[in-house]
Amino acid sequence: MNGARSRARTVQKKGSQRDQSTALPSEEHCQAEALKLLGDYTTLRVIDFLRSKALRFTELERALVDTNSVTLTKRLKNLEAAGIVDRREATFDRQSVTYSLTETGRCLLPVLAEIQNFTRRLRS
């Protein structure tokens, strides 16, 4: 009986420790969410391709030859939900959709530039 109570207390302690360790402060949570969103090769390439102009889905799909359309669609939806990409349907043709960077998305361009600089330094 004593052993069962002891095990129950141990389980309870472990559970409460786990709950405390997963509760992240707000800033850390935001950083983790940003890394989840942006820490993906396809996502970063989409942002890079939208750097200079708005593109239609098919243009992005052609540019990202190693990415299937389902993956591209998911990434674009995530970026749109995060306010990084703007999705616009043409009024005359609902099948014509263009994607562009929002002001928030444009704030990521210096980050991409630093990643490119890092890659150049790594290669030299």
Distance CA 58, CA 42 (A): 15
90 secondary structure, DSSP code: -
Expressed as residue numbers, the domain containing 66 is: 41-124
93 secondary structure, DSSP code: -
Question: Residue 22 falls within a domain, yes or no?
Answer: no
Question: Residue 48 falls within a domain, yes or no?
Answer: yes
- Predicted model pTM: 0.73
Q: How many domains does the chain have?
A: 1
pLDDT tens readout for residues 33-91: 888 888 889 999 999 999 999 999 999 999 999 999 999 999 999 999 999 999 998 77
pLDDT tens readout for residues 92-123: 766 789 999 999 999 999 999 999 999 999 99
pLDDT of residue 83: 96
